[in-house]
Amino acid sequence: MTHPVYKATVPLILASGSPRRRDFFNDLGLEFRVITAPDAEPSPNTGEAPADYARRAAHAKTMPVAMENEGSCTVGADTIVVLGNEIMGKPVDDAHALDMLSRLAGATHEVITGVCIVLPDGRSLSFAVSTAVTMAKHPMETLIAYIRTGEPADKAGAYAIQGIGAFLVERIDGSWSNVVGLPVVEMLEILTEKNILTPAF
């Protein structure tokens, strides 16, 4: 293992089963536990702003874990893909994935991650970060071939920028880690400001 970049001053919990978010924590050299709250993700409310929904979903995933682990710092997140005002979830099948990818192709959409941080004293902080993502215009046959890799099956918007789906993305405006699933810079600003994390030098 390489030398850590940060160390936690309190027990740290990641309230997410996402391998991508776990990788970010591991890459920073953090010691943490993964604890998730089953069936904690709510559905969007009619007329709810996407960023508000992302924050609310992150809060719903994080609070049940934090309440069972007082004295720890618990971090949870929820990432959504938004085209226009439509919140795109995970595809239910290959046809749904193709419909999503066909509409995203050649267009610019938003990836919004809501983050909830519950401090050891029980106070919670939440925020949302948005990144604009422009997709290249690929032919239908290419999109079908991508779907056949299986990668889109459990991804919001039916693609993964950190995986095979990188070829779909023409450019991004904003945080790359946010598109993957966690706005690392913004998260670190809060955790270091609150003295939850300190540089491990």
Tell me the catalytic residues. 78
Distance CA 76, CA 118 (A): 9
Residue recorded with tokens 């459990």? 154
* Burial (Cβ within 10 Å: 0-12, 13-18, ≥19) of residue 121: exposed
Of the candidates 119, 100, 117, the one whose C-alpha atom is nearest the C-alpha of residue 109 is 100
Neighbours of 144 (CB within 10 A): 14
Cα–Cα distance for residue pair 139/5, rounded to 1 Å: 43
